[in-house]
Structure 1
Amino acid sequence: MRGTGDLSKQGRPVVGGPERGATVIAESAWVLTLFCLGCGAVAGGVVTLLAEWLVRLSWAPLQGPARLLTSVPEPWQSVGAVGVGAVLGLVVGFIAVHESLSVRVSADRVVLGIRDSSQEFGRDEIGLVVRDGKQLVLLGPDGMEVAREDCGLPWTRLSEAFAAHGYRWADQDPHREEFRRWVPGMPGLPEGAGALLAARAAALEKDEGADDARELRGELLRLGVVVRDEKGRQYWRVPGRR
């Protein structure tokens, strides 16, 4: 299951170009794409070897596809398998680049970019920058969550970039102990939050529910409820309430 962030509902649309002195941290599109391309090509070669092994075992599954693949004469068998694997790897690489997070940090703002959207957060909106497992979290001065995004960027580079521009950084969420696991009907939530959490739980169970979960996170933030996911479960807190 994919984690979800809240760029679709939080922050302000980016205006203007990159400011002087800003630090930009992002995945290298070429490196990521070429890595996936290479992995795909290797996987294609492995599939050929696996097919040759399967046809020698009468009890093995996938006998039909394996015999079809091994019936192709060399060198076209190997060339075709590696080629198909490379194409699939290239597609995965493009998707990975599209889904990866980019971060631009300057003295007066932070810009998070993912997919086809970018959101800007002013310096006065950010009280603390947090690493929470594999997610980057921006917290406001009041402890309210401003943004939460899956992050595959180097954490050392991120912490150094934020510190260099004067932002406070934490290697773990200082509010982690305030989170409570959500179960239907539990007390303490603002009116309407329970229904939103139930809808979000249903969205998280769907393969295509990431966008819905992202939007519902934004709706919960507007009610003053912060949500984090862990092992398919939702945990919540209301800043200022224990």
Structure 2
Amino acid sequence: MLDERFRKGRLSTGTDARGGTTALGHPRGDLLLLLVGLPAAGLALGLALPRLARWASGSPVLPWRQAVEFVGGLDALWQTGIVMAVGLVAGVVLSFMALAEDMTLELTDTEVRTERGDETRAFARTDVSAVFIDGQQLVLLGTDSAELLRGGHAPRAADVAAAFRAHGYPWRDGDPYAALFHRWIPEAPGLPAEMHALLAARKGALKRDKGRDARELAELARGLGYVVRDEGKDQYWRALVTGA
């Protein structure tokens, strides 16, 4: 059974004129690709994998030769069926992981609600000073210039921009404070010891691929008067802007 959100259509893009609510999520084409395309690709890969392994096993320089030759030896019908089933399951898992990672949005003139996995957050329009897209991530800034929200978004960037503008949010083409960021260098002057410790802990969380821990540490930086963002493997920081 599909998740309740899918059956209720909350991942579609559209505006409810009566209630003044815009729901933004995966476009239908993207949703179809995720829910059908990835499992189908996994199924096809499972079918082709033994043949690919037999072809690759002829190479004189082949890493993991024993594993490749084992897969290439799976030529019985039932063995091929098992490999295809594994590919199908992998495709399904990947599709739902992709859905869980991207945020879906619900906007009104007074509030924006976001949902990512089992995490739902809400922000009042009066608490938002700027909205923009940074790379592949949607960012909401508060009235103190701190990041209220940062995360990958399901809808297309043009749809996101149009929706926020339609509801009167302060949309920006980029980060209005981008020029204020500095790359973090451990123990470099200009930051208090507490921020150096926080950024060191956050670096460890990023290395362990603990995305939620990294986000929580970035939120803690706000209490110390700073904003944190990532560029590649580097962390960048800036001080909050008073009166933003």
TM-score w.r.t. the length of structure 2 is 0.82
Question: Shift in Å at residue 147 of structure 1?
Answer: 1.3
Contact kept in structure 2, 1:70 and 1:77, CA below 8 Å: no
Using CA pairs under 8 Å that are at least 6 residues apart, name the structure with larger relative contact order, 1 or 2: 1
With 212-221 and 228-237 compared, the bigger mean Cα shift is at 212-221
Q: In the TM superposition, what are the counterparts of 1:32-181 in structure 2 within 5 Å?
A: 32-57=34-59, 59-181=61-183
Shift of 1:99: 1.9
Q: Deviations over 1:3-38 (max 9, x none)?
A: xxxxxxxxxxxxxxxx92211111265542222212
Q: Which secondary structure state, in structure 2, belongs to the residue aligned with residue 192 of structure 1?
A: helix
Alpha-carbon deviation of 1:42?
A: 2.6
> What is the one-letter code of the residue matched to 1:35?
G
Q: Percentage identity across aligned positions? A: 35
* Structure 2 letter corresponding to 1:102: T
Q: Is the 8 A contact 2:50 2:75 kept in 1?
A: no
Contact 2:131 2:140 in 1 (8 A): yes
Instruction: Tell whether the 8 Å contact from 1:25 to 1:104 is kept in structure 2 after alignment.
Output: yes
Identify unmatched segments of 5+ residues in structure 1: 1-18
Aligned 8 A contact 1:112 1:118 in 2 = yes
Paired residue secondary structure (1:235):
strand
State the match for 2:23 in structure 1.
Answer: 24
Partner secondary structure for residue 155 of structure 2: coil
1:76-125 CA-to-partner distances (Å, cap 9, x unmatched) read: 34433322211111111122222221111110001111121111000100
Structure (1 or 2) with the greater helix fraction: 2
Q: Retained in 1: the 8 A contact 2:102–2:151?
A: no
Q: Which consecutive residues of structure 2, in runs of 5 or more, have no partner in the other structure?
A: 1-17
In the alignment of these two chains, the number of paired residues is 222
State how far apart, in whole Å, the 2-side matches of 1:44 and 1:171 are.
Answer: 43
Paired letter, 1:82 = M
